[in-house]
């Protein structure tokens, strides 16, 4: 069993003037694959270091129900991989052996474990090479192997792919995913890259300004962002945001109006102002006028690759801008288009807090 | 303003050729991308154009004038390199002003230009700050401002967005396109280096495709993207690259087929006049894989090694008869490793000559 629980954890680097981490409550469990995702300075690495026992904090951290406050790093059953690969100036084999060299194991057992990790990570061909002379991607693979060879229950990965060249990143991603499938541990992965989070975890904590804004399955976070920030940060391009006002039972956006989606009738009945979010891939865009479609003007089209295009749209009196993503074979730049906002894809957020109102 | 002409340029570093007989002509006023992976020679070529590196062979002309031996400071070239290299002891204002100061512009002109540049880049509020107070995105804007503030015949932008986190990069591609329409830039030669074909597609009219020190292709970005002119293009332009299947022409009864494997076999009788040889290569774009069968799609079974999920879509890394195949689905979905059956529309294939590597046609039944 392995279970990491945090209760009201906060951390300040300047004695409480500002907080790098604020009131974090979360639980991560055995065989889970988790990501902490957010822009630089959001607190994700701080959170990871608290789990590792490298930082002072307020609140409580429990591993399997045991309060970890006084437990030093070496007794925490964790292993950590850092952004810049750390290897010792010895062969790859000796690097992998290093963490278990003092464990009371038969030498065949030690050798067996090294071979096992080496095989999963495809390090066999370079086992005798001096690790410190390898390229960054291979060095990071060695660092990963060294973290995994201990029987740690919790593996902490702090942006391990950020400093690896793009072409090699994919190979390493594949290896990490394979390890996650074969080793039953808690994996906590810190990244600013949404595609790494989506590929290498099942549940994601999206963080900003020291807070966890949303901690949920990746599908739910994408479909139902709890905050405007989450909608903007996840997605490429991010969620469109429009400022709206309630007017005569409709949602008014100055140069067009939309009916209020049933889920939001109550909220919009009580609040005059709100923000509407809608994902760029959720529109239907037509060259012809149809019922319930809103007139827009297509200012520019960018090819996005993979057969997809981004339309940059502006409403009739240029009061609202939208990005739409899709194949859109008939749409031309500089032409009038008609846009449908599907009611089921509209999300409404509180104007002050940016929080979902549902 | 004049055209840039590069003729037969070679460059080696410690015996290894990094530029191999490069000849190019880049017209002023045309946004041109140099696209290629790390090590393709993009930066070396830019440095040779800027004059900070000397070619071993070849000539460079700007208009009628040969500039091969002209020292960098006399070339009227503005360059932004990877890593922003701001002067740490100068304010943002003085960093942007520095190229103008070097050319002894009067103070009033310096002020006018710096302020205008700061407005375009939306960094006016940062002018009094020092570089160490800036975030990555802000430092990048300042470096851009410094490169774009002066008049120049050639603007060289070497991966200016690399190193920004993806969220900033996303906004900047659109904005950069607008910024580069400024008066002092739009008549100059504008070269933009990137390893990312999406940047080339969304910003530049023309693309120079490089790999291993050679120019593989040079042409209209969008036309190439839609109809890959050669195998080299198919391999190196897209990322992940287009899928390629070696195949040969076979006759069964009265029908001609291009056969790559048992499952990948295309009837091509209607194309027989265009197929004089035995060996061909089929190209299949990464976005041509489907989950549901429609029309006359063919079923192909792959072995999936990784589903790389992004919010915009899923990249499937697969193997097929010992070859790597990349697929792209336009929605985020995770798949377990192992066997995966997908459907492919024959109409999505491109047919290339094996020998010459040239595109013959797009398959249509």
Look up the domain containing B352 and give its range.
243-362
What is the DSSP track for B168-188? HHHHHHHHHHHHTTSHHHHTS
Residues 27-56 of B with CB under 8 A from A: 37-38
Token couple for B181: 């329409």
Residue where a domain stops, chosen among B228, B260, B278: B228
User: Quick one: which of B56, B76, B96 has its CA closest to B185?
Assistant: B76
Calpha distance B8→B6 (Å, rounded): 7
Rounded to the nearest angstrom, the minimum Cα separation between B201 and chain A is: 6
For chain A, the three-class secondary structure string (H helix, E strand, C coil) is: CCEEEEEEEEECCCCCCCCCEEEEEEEEECCCEEEEECCCCCCHHHHHHHHHCCCCCEEEEEECCEECCCCCHHHCCEEEECCCCCCCCCEHHHHHHHHHCCCCCCHHHHHHHHHHHHHHCCCHHHCCCEHHHCCHHHHHHHHHHHHHHCCCCEEEEECCCCCCCHHHHHHHHHHHHHHHHHCCCEEEEEECCHHHHHHHCCEEEEEECCEEEEEEEHHHHHHCCCEHHHHHHCCCCCCEEEEEEEECCEEECCCCEEECCHHHHHHHHHCCEEEEEECHHHCEEECCCCCCCEEEEEEEEEEEECCEEEEEEEECCCCCEEEEEECCCCCCCCCEEEEECCHHHCEEECCCCCEECC
Token couple for B311: 């919010």
pLDDT at A1: 63
Task: Please give the backbone phi and psi of residue B79, each rounded to the nearest 5 degrees, phi first.
Answer: -135, 140
Please indicate if any CB of chain A lies within 8 Å of the CB of B317: yes
- Chain B residues with beta carbon closer than 8 angstroms to that of A308: 287, 312-313, 330
Contact at CB, B306 and A177, closer than 8 angstroms: yes
Please indicate if any CB of chain B lies within 8 Å of the CB of A325: yes
Contact at CB, A306 and B313, closer than 8 angstroms: yes
What is the DSSP track for B316-339? EEEEETTEEEEEEESS-----SEE
Within chain A, all domains assigned CATH 2.40.50.140 are found at: 240-349
Contact at CB, B174 and A312, closer than 8 angstroms: yes
Q: Is residue B279 part of a domain?
A: yes
Among A300, A303, A324, most B C-beta atoms within 10 A, so best to mutate, is: A303
Q: Is residue B238 part of a domain?
A: no
Within chain A, all domains assigned CATH 3.40.50.300 are found at: 3-228
pLDDT at B215: 96
User: Quick one: which of A187, A159, A212 has its CA closest to A2?
Assistant: A187
Of B167, B197, B305, the CB nearest to A39: B167
Residue A102 has pLDDT above 90, yes or no: no
pLDDT per residue as tens digits for the range B137-184: 888 889 999 999 988 999 999 998 887 777 777 778 878 888 888 888
Rounded to the nearest angstrom, the minimum Cα separation between B221 and chain A is: 10
CA angle A323, A324, A330 (to 5 degrees): 130
Residue B364 has pLDDT above 80, yes or no: no
pLDDT at B87: 93
- A256-268 mean pLDDT: 94
Within 10 angstroms of residue A351's Cβ, the number of other Cβ atoms is 17
pLDDT band of B114, cuts 50, 70, 90 = very high
Same domain, B188 and B322: no
| CATH class of the A240-349 domain in this structure | mainly beta
3-state secondary structure of B270: helix
Q: Is residue B258 part of a domain?
A: yes
Same domain, B199 and B124: yes
Calpha distance B22→B211 (Å, rounded): 12
Residue where a domain stops, chosen among B173, B204, B228: B228
Same domain, B83 and B113: yes
Calpha distance B44→B49 (Å, rounded): 9
Rounded to the nearest angstrom, the minimum Cα separation between A38 and chain B is: 10
3-state secondary structure of B247: strand
Please indicate if any CB of chain B lies within 8 Å of the CB of A302: yes
Same domain, B183 and B77: yes
Please indicate if any CB of chain A lies within 8 Å of the CB of B202: yes
| Contact call for residues B22 and B211 (beta carbons, < 8 A) | no
Lowest model confidence (mean pLDDT) among A268-272, A294-298, A353-357, B290-294: B290-294
Burial class (CB in 10 A: 0-12, 13-18, 19+), A289: exposed
Contact at CB, A233 and B305, closer than 8 angstroms: no
Domain A3-228 CATH (choose: 3.40.50.300, 1.10.8.60, 3.40.50.510, 3.40.50.720): 3.40.50.300
Rounded to the nearest angstrom, the minimum Cα separation between A101 and chain B is: 33
CA distance readout (Å), A68 to A3, A48, A63, B165: 12, 14, 7, 34
User: Quick one: which of B195, B202, B235 has its CA closest to B217?
Assistant: B235
Within 10 angstroms of residue B95's Cβ, the number of other Cβ atoms is 26
Among A35, A198, A222, A282, most B C-beta atoms within 10 A, so best to mutate, is: A198
Of A39, A236, A300, the CB nearest to B312: A236
When the pLDDT of each residue in chain B is averaged and rounded to a whole number, the result is 91
- Chain A residues with beta carbon closer than 8 angstroms to that of B166: 192-194, 236
3-state secondary structure of B232: helix
Contact at CB, A304 and B310, closer than 8 angstroms: no
Q: Is residue B234 part of a domain?
A: no
Contact at CB, A199 and B285, closer than 8 angstroms: no
Same domain, B75 and B223: yes
List B316's β-bridge partners, or say none.
Answer: B307, B327
When the pLDDT of each residue in chain A is averaged and rounded to a whole number, the result is 92
pLDDT per residue as tens digits for the range B20-66: 999 999 999 889 999 998 889 999 999 999 999 999 999 999 999 99
Rounded to the nearest angstrom, the minimum Cα separation between B285 and chain A is: 8
Same domain, B87 and B142: yes
Q: ipTM more than 0.85?
A: no
* Percent of chain B topping pLDDT 70: 99
User: Quick one: which of B14, B361, B41, B62 has its CA closest to B213?
Assistant: B41
Residue with tokens 């923000």: A275
Contact at CB, A166 and B195, closer than 8 angstroms: yes
Which of residues B365 and B345 earns the better pLDDT score? Answer: B345
Of A166, A167, A198, the CB nearest to B311: A198
Calpha distance B216→B24 (Å, rounded): 11
pLDDT band of A325, cuts 50, 70, 90 = very high
Same domain, B82 and B147: yes
pLDDT per residue as tens digits for the range B172-205: 887 888 888 888 888 899 999 999 898 999 889 9
Residue B284 has pLDDT above 90, yes or no: yes
Q: Is residue B235 part of a domain?
A: no
Q: What order do you get walking across the sheet with A33-37 strand by strand?
A: A78-81, A154-158, A186-191, A33-37, A203-208, A211-217
- A273-281 mean pLDDT: 95
Same domain, B266 and B191: no
Calpha distance A28→B30 (Å, rounded): 53
Give the count of domains, chain B: 2
Residue with tokens 């700007």: B62
User: Quick one: which of B215, B212, B242, B205 has its CA closest to B227?
Assistant: B242
Q: Nearest residue on chain B to A221, judged by CA atoms?
A: B311
Rounded to the nearest angstrom, the minimum Cα separation between B287 and chain A is: 5
The sign one gets for the Cα dihedral B63, B69, B70, B76 is: positive
The CATH number of the domain where B204 resides is what?
3.40.50.300
pLDDT band of B1, cuts 50, 70, 90 = low
Contact at CB, B312 and A192, closer than 8 angstroms: no
Residue B324 has pLDDT above 80, yes or no: yes
Of A166, A222, A300, the CB nearest to B311: A222
Same domain, B254 and B210: no
pLDDT per residue as tens digits for the range A108-151: 999 999 999 999 899 999 999 999 999 888 999 999 999 989 88
Q: Is residue B236 part of a domain?
A: no
The CATH number of the domain where B319 resides is what?
2.40.50.140
Residue where a domain stops, chosen among B195, B228, B261: B228
| Contact call for residues B113 and B100 (beta carbons, < 8 A) | yes
Token couple for A332: 């031309």
Same domain, B301 and B167: no
């Amino acid at each position: 069993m392995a279970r990491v629980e945090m209760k009201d954890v906060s951390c300040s680097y300047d004695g409480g003037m500002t907080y790098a981490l604020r009131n974090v409550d979360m639980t991560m469990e055995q065989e889970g694959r988790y990501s902490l995702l957010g822009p630089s300075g959001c607190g994700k690495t701080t959170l990871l270091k608290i789990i590792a026992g490298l930082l002072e904090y307020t609140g409580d951290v429990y591993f399997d129900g045991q309060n970890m406050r006084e437990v030093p790093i070496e007794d925490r059953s964790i292993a950590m991989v850092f952004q810049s690969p750390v290897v010792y100036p010895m062969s790859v084999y000796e690097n992998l052996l290093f963490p278990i060299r003092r464990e009371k194991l038969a030498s065949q057992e030690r050798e067996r474990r090294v071979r096992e990790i080496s095989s999963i990570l495809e390090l066999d061909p370079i086992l005798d090479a001096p690790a410190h002379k390898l390229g960054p991607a291979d060095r990071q693979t060695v660092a990963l192997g060294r973290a995994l060879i201990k029987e740690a229950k919790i593996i902490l990965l702090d942006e391990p792919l950020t400093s690896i060249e793009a072409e090699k990143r994919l190979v390493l991603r594949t290896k990490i995913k394979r390890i996650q499938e074969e080793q039953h541990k808690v994996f906590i992965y810190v990244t600013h890259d949404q595609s790494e989070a989506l590929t290498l975890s099942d549940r994601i904590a999206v963080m900003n300004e020291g807070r966890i804004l949303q901690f949920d399955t990746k599908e739910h976070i994408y479909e139902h962002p709890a905050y405007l920030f989450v909608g903007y940060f996840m997605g490429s391009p991010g969620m469109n945001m429009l400022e709206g006002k309630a007017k005569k039972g409709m949602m008014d956006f100055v140069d067009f109006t939309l009916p209020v989606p049933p889920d939001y009738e109550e909220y919009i009945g009580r609040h005059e102002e709100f923000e509407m979010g809608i994902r760029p891939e959720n529109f239907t865009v037509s060259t012809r006028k149809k019922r319930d479609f809103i007139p827009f003007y297509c200012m520019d089209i960018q090819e996005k690759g993979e057969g997809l295009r981004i339309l940059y749209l502006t409403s009739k009196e240029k009061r609202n801008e939208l990005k739409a993503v899709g194949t859109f074979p008939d749409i031309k730049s500089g032409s009038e288009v008609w846009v449908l906002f599907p009611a089921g894809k509209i999300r409404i957020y509180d104007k002050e807090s940016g929080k979902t109102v549902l | 303003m004049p055209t840039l002409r590069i003729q037969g340029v070679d460059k080696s570093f410690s015996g290894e050729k990094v530029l191999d007989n490069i000849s190019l002509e880049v017209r002023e006023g045309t946004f041109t991308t140099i696209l290629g992976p790390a090590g393709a020679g993009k930066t070396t070529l830019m440095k040779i154009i800027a004059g900070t590196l000397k070619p071993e062979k070849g000539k460079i002309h700007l208009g009628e004038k040969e500039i091969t031996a002209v020292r960098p400071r006399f070339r009227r070239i503005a360059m932004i390199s990877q890593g922003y290299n701001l002067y740490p002891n100068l304010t943002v204002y003085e960093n942007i002003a520095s190229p103008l100061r070097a050319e002894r512009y009067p103070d009033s002109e310096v002020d006018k230009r710096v302020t205008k540049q700061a407005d375009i880049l939306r960094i006016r509020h940062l002018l009094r700050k020092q570089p160490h107070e800036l975030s990555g995105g802000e430092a990048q804007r300042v470096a851009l401002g410094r490169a774009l503030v002066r008049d120049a015949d050639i603007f060289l932008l070497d991966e200016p967005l690399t190193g920004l986190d993806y969220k900033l990069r996303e906004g900047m591609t659109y904005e950069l396109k607008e910024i580069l329409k400024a008066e002092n830039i739009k008549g100059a030669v504008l070269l933009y280096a990137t390893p990312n074909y999406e940047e080339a597609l969304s910003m530049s009219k023309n693309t120079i495709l490089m790999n291993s020190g050679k120019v593989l292709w040079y042409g209209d970005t969008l036309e190439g993207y839609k109809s890959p002119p050669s195998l080299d293009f198919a391999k190196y332009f897209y990322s992940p690259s287009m899928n390629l299947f070696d195949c040969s022409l076979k006759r069964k009864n009265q029908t001609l087929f291009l056969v790559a494997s048992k499952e990948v076999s295309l009837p091509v009788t209607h194309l027989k006049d265009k197929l004089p040889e035995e060996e061909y290569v089929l190209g299949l774009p990464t976005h041509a894989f489907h989950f549901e069968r429609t029309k006359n799609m063919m079923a192909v079974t792959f072995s999936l090694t990784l589903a790389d999920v992004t919010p915009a879509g899923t990249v499937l890394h697969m193997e097929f008869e010992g070859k790597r195949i990349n697929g792209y689905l336009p929605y985020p979905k995770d798949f377990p490793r192992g066997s995966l059956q997908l459907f492919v529309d024959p109409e999505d294939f491109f047919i290339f000559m094996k020998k010459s590597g040239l595109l013959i046609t797009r398959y249509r039944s």
